Structures are given as C-alpha cells and as structure tokens.
Amino acid sequence: MHVKLILGMFILLLGVASAQQVEVNDAGGSLTSGGQDPVPGQPFLRTVNGSIDFTVGGGPSLPFALMAGPLAPTSFTDPLLSGEWYDLQPLSAILLVDGFGGGGMLPSFISQLNGFGEASFVFPLSTAANGVEIAFQSIVQDPTISPLFLNFTAAADFLVTTAVAVTGDDVVMNYSIPSGPLTLLGQTYGTLSVSTNGWIQFGGGAVFADPTESTGEFVTGTPGGAPAGPIVAVLWEDLDVGNGPTQAMIVEELMPAMIRVTWQNADYFPSTPAGTLRCTLDFTGTEPHFLMDYTGYQAATPPFEGLVGLSLGGGGGTALDLVVGGVVQSTAPTGAQGLAVFQNFDGSGVPAVAPEAFDLAGLILDFQISAAGFVSLL
Ligand SMILES: [Ca+2]
Ligand SMILES: [Ca+2]
Ligand SMILES: [Ca+2]
Ligand SMILES: [Ca+2]
C-alpha cells in the first residue's frame, strides 16, 4: 500500500487527470469479471452484442453495496476507511445496491452475498451502448477491518466497443471495415484478413491462418493462400492466443479509416509468453501509416525467428536489420526495392541480413507508403 500511496501522491503532484484505480481485490472484498481482477488502465473490453458481467465476492451472506459511474481522476480515502480507497467519481456515481441502508436502484433482495460469498451481475448490451465506458466498485461488510468494517473492492472499468475479438490458435478473421473500404495506391479494400499468427492482409482472401512465416509469401503478399495483396507482418510467427482468458486478437476501427489490431498477451506456440503486440493502420491522411507497437512485447528469451515488415505484394523488397543497437534504421528505398521493407529474423531475404534474436521490444515502428508508392520506415 505504501507504493500505491506514493504513486497516488506522485500523480497528484503531476496534476495528471487520468484515473487511478488504487484499490485492489482481496478475500474480504473483490469484484472480478470472467474470473479476472481489474488491471488499472486496461478496461475490460465488451462488444455491443455482449454484456457487462461481473461478480462481487466476500464473506458468506454478508451485505454489500454496489456503485456504478466514471472512474475518479484521483481516488479518495479517509482515516476511518483504514486504507481502503474509493475509485469512482463521488458526485457522478450512482448507487445500484445498498445492503447497509436497504436502498439503491436494484431490488434489495440482491443486497447480500450468497452462502458462497458471491453476487453476480449481467447487464446485456446493445448497439446504443457503443463507446460507453463505465466502472463498478463494491463495498462489502468485512468484520476484520475496524472501525467501520467496510472492505472496498477493486473498481472494474468496462469499455463497450464495436471491436471484434477472437481467441484460439491459428484463427484467421476476415474483417469487414465498418466505415467502408480503404484506398491504397488506387485500389480499394473493404476486407482485411487478420491472422492470430501476427499478420494482416489486404483483400480478405486468406483461407487459413498460416503459422509459418515465409519471406517468399511475404514479398508476393500471399499468406494463408490469399490472392496477392499488401501485407502487414507485425510479428508473423506461430503465435497462440488460445491458452488463457486474458488472451485475444482484437480488431477495432478507432475512427473512420483508422483500424487497430491487438494480439493481447500472445504466446509463441504452444505456450511461451510473447506479450502484447499492436498495429494501427492509419489511413486518415494522404500517406497511410502502419504503426507497429512492441512496447508490450515481453518474451524472456526472444527467438531467432519471426518476420516483421510491410509489403505491397509486388514481389520485391528490401531486407533490413530494422533496429541496430536499439535505434530504428529509417529507410526509403524506391523501385522494386521499395515494394517491401522487412526483416525475417532467421536472416532470409535480399540483401542478406545476419540472423539475430528478435530485438524490437519496447519500440514503435512507423512504416509509411509514400505518395510515390513505395514502402518506407520512418
Ligand atoms: Ca479492499
Ligand atoms: Ca516460425
Ligand atoms: Ca499459431
Ligand atoms: Ca536488429
């Protein structure tokens, strides 16, 4: 708790208005979704076709209160609360259930945990909820916390999106772009093939998730049996997002012509953690950008394999040691060399690049297609 107090004061001093989510779950008071504890700054994503679902936990048959509202920019505590923190905005939150005073917006018979010390809630969503962000926090009676005997749970934040999420190993999703086709070098693409194995292909014609990275298929733009087209390899490798409940591949259109794909908590197949990889396709300007984000990559021992880069699928390109000594090597080749810029960490490609362990952790690479129609790395 000392660390959190210091962090809280630090944030106050900086005047940062982002939410804190200071309180954490424990046996005497918890709020979880799908068996998962909330992670500060990472809302639970829910699609408009799904529901907000969570479980309040604590001692058997004890009363609890449940609040809903926006997260507070600055969490609140009081000496009487014995180190418990309230993470919602006090003036905006509403009281859904009050097992202490018998009030609230929901029926009072659900104001007490059951004999197993649980109370579960499911709120179905609809398209009207798109974009809604709302947090829930509960207070559970806890005889071990004097003087008020109140245990605050962690606050769980939920974000409702049109995002599509899939889990599993070797899954390819053909994603129809909600706002309409993207235009790339005079061609329009209404559908993307997005693979759990770390690649995105324009055209939507892939028929399998292709776990085997291939320099040849990369430069011709034909992964997964797709007809030739541009391909983004964020980390084309045999990845796996089917081993645990926090893993997923999430595709979402953040705004018209800006699409983000996240491989969340991915493993190298079968189960070696690789971390989170992310790519944002930004077609809002005149020259499209492809931001590949490796700040969440966290393999303990990065392997000498995997393919990273952007290819127009024209059959040529430039193999490059993308990062040397932590520094991104910007390049803007033209002609056939400008049809792709990439690194296969096994060393394949032209010109030859020495095999090396994946060394992009912590970096964001900004690939661009210039007005002249060539791939560059900024
Ligand atoms: Ca607590
Ligand atoms: Ca491989
Ligand atoms: Ca795989
Ligand atoms: Ca390197």
Q: Per-residue pLDDT tens for 204-228?
A: 999 999 999 999 999 999 999 999 9
Tell me how far apart the alpha carbons of residues 330 and 252 are, in angstroms, rounded to a whole number: 28
Average pLDDT on 146-154 reads 96
For tokens 């997964």, name the residue.
Answer: 224
Lowest mean pLDDT among 147-156, 211-220, 246-255: 246-255
The string of pLDDT tens digits covering residues 319-353 is 999 999 999 999 999 999 999 999 999 999 999 99
Tokens representing 189?
């693409």
Please name which ligand lies nearest the alpha carbon of 235.
2
> What would the DSSP string read from start to end of 84-149?
--EEE-TTT-EEEEETTTS-SSS-GGGSB--TTSEEEEEEE--GGGTT-EEEEEEEEE-TTSTTT-
Q: How far is the CA of 309 from the centre of ligand 2 (A)?
A: 15
User: Per-residue pLDDT for 14 more than 60?
Assistant: no
User: Per-residue pLDDT for 247 more than 60?
Assistant: yes
Q: How far is the CA of 136 from the centre of ligand 1 (A)?
A: 14
Q: How far is the CA of 261 from the centre of ligand 1 (A)?
A: 35
Please name which ligand lies nearest the alpha carbon of 239.
3
Tell me how far apart the alpha carbons of residues 159 and 136 are, in angstroms, rounded to a whole number: 12
What pLDDT shows up at residue 128? 86
Average pLDDT on 341-370 reads 97
Tokens representing 233?
């390899």
Please name which ligand lies nearest the alpha carbon of 346.
2
The string of pLDDT tens digits covering residues 50-102 is 789 999 999 999 999 999 999 999 999 999 999 999 999 988 999 999 999 87
The string of pLDDT tens digits covering residues 158-194 is 988 878 889 999 999 999 888 889 999 999 999 999 9
User: Per-residue pLDDT for 7 more than 70?
Assistant: no
Tell me how far apart the alpha carbons of residues 29 and 128 are, in angstroms, rounded to a whole number: 32
Q: How far is the CA of 365 from the centre of ligand 2 (A)?
A: 21
Average pLDDT on 134-150 reads 96
C-alpha distances in Å from residue 61, one per residue of 24, 26, 167, 231, 283: 21, 17, 36, 56, 54
Q: How far is the CA of 318 from the centre of ligand 4 (A)?
A: 15
Q: What residues pack around ion ligand 1 (CB closer than 5 A)?
A: 29, 151-152
Average pLDDT on 129-144 reads 95
Nearest C-alpha neighbor of 142 from the set 194, 98, 82: 82
Please name which ligand lies nearest the alpha carbon of 269.
3
User: Per-residue pLDDT for 357 more than 50?
Assistant: yes
Q: How far is the CA of 257 from the centre of ligand 2 (A)?
A: 31
Q: What residues pack around ion ligand 4 (CB closer than 5 A)?
A: 321, 323, 359
Tokens representing 357?
């362990």
Exposure b/e, 111-132, CB count within 10 A at least 16 = b: bbbeeebebebeeebeeebeee
Q: What residues pack around ion ligand 2 (CB closer than 5 A)?
A: 305
Q: How far is the CA of 206 from the centre of ligand 2 (A)?
A: 19
What pLDDT shows up at residue 102? 79
What pLDDT shows up at residue 9? 32
Average pLDDT on 106-127 reads 91
Q: How far is the CA of 172 from the centre of ligand 4 (A)?
A: 29
Q: How far is the CA of 267 from the centre of ligand 4 (A)?
A: 21
What pLDDT shows up at residue 18? 64
Q: How far is the CA of 307 from the centre of ligand 2 (A)?
A: 8
Tell me how far apart the alpha carbons of residues 336 and 355 are, in angstroms, rounded to a whole number: 23
User: Per-residue pLDDT for 15 more than 70?
Assistant: no
User: Per-residue pLDDT for 238 more than 50?
Assistant: yes
For 9, residues 6+ apart whose C-beta sits below 8 A from its C-beta are: none
Instruction: Give me the chain's average pLDDT, please.
Output: 91
> What would the DSSP string read from start to end of 284-344?
SSSS-EEEEEEEEE--SS--S--EEEEE-SSS--EE---EETTEE--B---GGGGGEEEEE
User: Per-residue pLDDT for 254 more than 90?
Assistant: no
Please name which ligand lies nearest the alpha carbon of 56.
1
Q: How far is the CA of 92 from the centre of ligand 2 (A)?
A: 50
What pLDDT shows up at residue 205? 94
